[in-house]
Amino acid sequence: MAYQWWTTAVQYFALFISVYMVIIILFYATILLISVIQLRREYKLNRADSFDDITNELYTKPVSIIVPAYNEEAGIIPSVRSLLSINYPEYEIIVVNDGSKDDTLEKMIKYYDMVKVDKVIRKQIDTKPIKGIYQSKVLPKLYMVDKENGGKADALNVGLNLSHFPYICSLDGDSVLERDAFLKVMKPIMDSNEEVVASGGSIRIANGCVVKDGQVLEIGLSNHPLVVMQIIEYLRAFLMGRIGLSRHNLLLIISGAFGVFSKKWVIQAGGYQTDTVGEDMELVIRIHRLLKESKEKKKIIYVPDPVCWTEVPEDMKFLRRQRRRWHRGLFESLWNHRKLTFNPKYGKIGFISFPYFWLIEFMGPIVELLGYIYTIIALFVGGIYLEFALVILLLSCIYGSVFSMAAVLLEEWSLRKYPKISHIVTLFFYSLTETFWYRPLTVFWRCEGIWQLIKGEKSWGDMTRKGVSK
């Protein structure tokens, strides 16, 4: 009797995992279809001609670019050099040195001939104390703020206080922008008559590319399998996930590596929150919440074409830290705004976005890990357990590898950032292997992030940058 009860319980458990994965697959299939239609619609346009009319200063909105920098000596100079060469009429660059322990500050002062200036800052958001403000003698639109360490969010708030323009852009210190990226990411804001209050661009991986003087001269693939898998992961997240969600104003994340916001709404929302490791997602949710509560019909969108190239971890230790931190940040953002979940006051954000991020993005790794454990045990036990295990494995392949392959094909069909056929072939075949090694690793790391939450761990975790530019 006990054996029969146990067998039934295990069968129901396997059935639950199978049904859960089918629901995820159907959701992602819908998102993929929406993304294909949206990309097809956008790329019927002549992309070169569509930006000619906004290069004039009369039509563009000036932007303050805020670059938080903590121990970024390896890449800060070429990143700023990249920003100085962007094709955009009016902007300023504010690098915020967040108490770096390396030579980030000294390198910036020396390379860009910066001097300390007396400047009154309108303190709209509380921050850690500022030690000094520097301005380049040869490039007046370039500023450097030296402050006590307070984390990335605090550094962004300092830049927000110092900024002079109505739009701000958060940009990581190791990032390299394509020259027309700002024209493309700002175009929806200008076309919508400011109905769009935030716009995010695509993030691509610079490891393996030839980057010189802040410009990507040749796009390539890294030889590191971990980096190649991250490229596929980014393609899937941006070209599938964010396009589909953005189409219906359901986007809850604009990457902290490259996003433009209306300064007015960021300040009204209270700036960046400093007690979370997911400050980018948390801010977007807070703006959505503010818009809904004030009954403003504004949008937060994702634009696939503007590209920012950034360095990713090549070492498994640092990648593991990053994924644990991301999952903790996801929970913190969702938990802080849990009242939005299934709340009719917040419309589709409450009924679609929040349930999706709770049930699929946050809980997904737990269910997947249980599925892997079940499959491994079933291989040894055999019988009916093995039949369910094969179903779970098949669903895992569809959920993991098949959708990743679709993202690679979507990249080749639309943006075509990777110029060589060999690049697409390599990405395609790597995506076939995702289910069998890379996805289980990331699932385990994200579950570790949940364990860190239970233990109350708050640390960010140091990341080592090699620098991608020569």
214 and 133 in a single domain? The answer is yes
Averaged pLDDT for residues 453-464: 73
Averaged pLDDT for residues 327-333: 94
Give the span between the Cα atoms of 91 and 88, in whole angstroms: 7
307 and 431 in a single domain? The answer is no
Q: Among residues 259, 292, 315, which one ends one of the domains?
A: 315
- Examine the pLDDT at 244 and tell me if it is beyond 90: no
Q: Which of 408, 404, 388 is nearest to 436 (CA)?
A: 404
Answer yes or no: is 89 within a domain.
yes
362 and 267 in a single domain? The answer is no
Position with higher pLDDT, 409 vs 83? 83
Report residue 349 as tokens: 């954000």
- Examine the pLDDT at 374 and tell me if it is beyond 90: no
Answer yes or no: is 214 within a domain.
yes
Report residue 290 as tokens: 């503010």
Any alpha helices (H) in 251-402, and if so which ranges?
Answer: 263-268, 279-293, 316-336, 347-348, 354-356, 364-381, 384-397
Answer yes or no: is 323 within a domain.
no
Total number of domains in the chain: 2
Q: Work out the number of other CB atoms within 10 angstroms of the CB of residue 347.
A: 15
Return the half-sphere exposure (C-beta side, CA atoms, 13 A cut-off) of residue 326.
Answer: 17
Answer yes or no: is 218 within a domain.
yes
310 and 437 in a single domain? The answer is no
Sign of CA dihedral 313, 318, 321, 325: negative
- Per-residue pLDDT band for 469 (boundaries 50, 70, 90) equals low
63 and 33 in a single domain? The answer is no
Instruction: Look at the block and give the residue holding tokens 């360490």.
Output: 149
pLDDT at site 21: 87
Sign of CA dihedral 19, 21, 24, 25: negative
Q: Which of 45, 44, 153 is nearest to 96 (CA)?
A: 153
pLDDT at site 461: 60
Let me know: does 114 contact 136? Beta carbons within 8 Å: yes
Let me know: does 54 contact 190? Beta carbons within 8 Å: yes
Q: Provide the residue count of the chain.
A: 470
Answer yes or no: is 470 within a domain.
no
Give the span between the Cα atoms of 431 and 408, in whole angstroms: 8
DSSP 338: G
Largest Cα span, the chain: 84
Listed in sequence order, the residues at least 6 apart from 381 whose beta carbon sits closer than 8 Å to its beta carbon are none
- Domain ranges, residue 430: 2-39+353-455
Q: Among residues 315, 336, 364, which one ends one of the domains?
A: 315
Q: What is the mean pLDDT of the chain?
A: 86
Q: Among residues 315, 334, 363, which one ends one of the domains?
A: 315
pLDDT at site 445: 96
53 and 28 in a single domain? The answer is no
- Per-residue pLDDT band for 314 (boundaries 50, 70, 90) equals very high
- Per-residue pLDDT band for 45 (boundaries 50, 70, 90) equals very low
pLDDT at site 229: 94
Q: At what angle do helices 104-111 and 76-84 cross, to 10 degrees?
A: 40
- Per-residue pLDDT band for 251 (boundaries 50, 70, 90) equals very high
CATH of residue 250: 3.90.550.10
Give the span between the Cα atoms of 76 and 169, in whole angstroms: 16
Tell me if residue 204 falls in helix, strand or coil. Answer: strand
Task: Express as a percent the part of the chain with pLDDT over 90.
Answer: 45
111 and 250 in a single domain? The answer is yes
Q: Name the helix (H) or strand (E) containing 307.
A: strand 299-310
Q: Which has the minimum average pLDDT: 57-71, 161-175, 412-426?
A: 412-426
- Examine the pLDDT at 205 and tell me if it is beyond 50: yes
284 and 368 in a single domain? The answer is no
- Torsion (CA) 31, 37, 42, 45 in degrees, nearest 10: 170
pLDDT digits (tens, 9 = 90+) for 331-360: 999 999 999 999 999 999 999 999 999 999
407 and 301 in a single domain? The answer is no
Averaged pLDDT for residues 166-195: 86
- Per-residue pLDDT band for 134 (boundaries 50, 70, 90) equals very high
pLDDT at site 391: 81
Answer yes or no: is 363 within a domain.
yes
Averaged pLDDT for residues 125-130: 92
359 and 303 in a single domain? The answer is no
Beta bridge partners of 216: 211
pLDDT at site 98: 93
- Examine the pLDDT at 265 and tell me if it is beyond 80: yes
Give the span between the Cα atoms of 303 and 41, in whole angstroms: 13
- Torsion (CA) 364, 370, 371, 372 in degrees, nearest 10: 110
Q: At what angle do helices 225-235 and 316-336 cross, to 10 degrees?
A: 30
Q: Which has the minimum average pLDDT: 123-137, 205-219, 228-242, 384-398?
A: 384-398
pLDDT at site 139: 93
Q: Which of 63, 33, 271 is nearest to 185 (CA)?
A: 63
Let me know: does 249 contact 192? Beta carbons within 8 Å: no
Position with higher pLDDT, 29 vs 451? 451
**Can you give the pTM of this predicted structure?**
0.90
Answer yes or no: is 163 within a domain.
yes
Q: Is 50 exposed, middle or buried (0-12, 13-18, 19+ CB in 10 A)?
A: middle
Give the span between the Cα atoms of 142 and 242, in whole angstroms: 32
Listed in sequence order, the residues at least 6 apart from 338 whose beta carbon sits closer than 8 Å to its beta carbon are none
pLDDT at site 157: 95
84 and 228 in a single domain? The answer is yes
Averaged pLDDT for residues 102-122: 90
107 and 243 in a single domain? The answer is yes
408-415 CB contacts, 8 Å cutoff, 24+ apart = 408/232, 408/235, 410/32, 410/35, 410/36, 410/39, 410/235, 410/239, 410/240, 411/235, 411/239, 413/39, 414/39, 414/43, 414/239, 414/304, 415/202, 415/239, 415/304, 415/305, 415/307
- Per-residue pLDDT band for 46 (boundaries 50, 70, 90) equals very low
Answer yes or no: is 441 within a domain.
yes
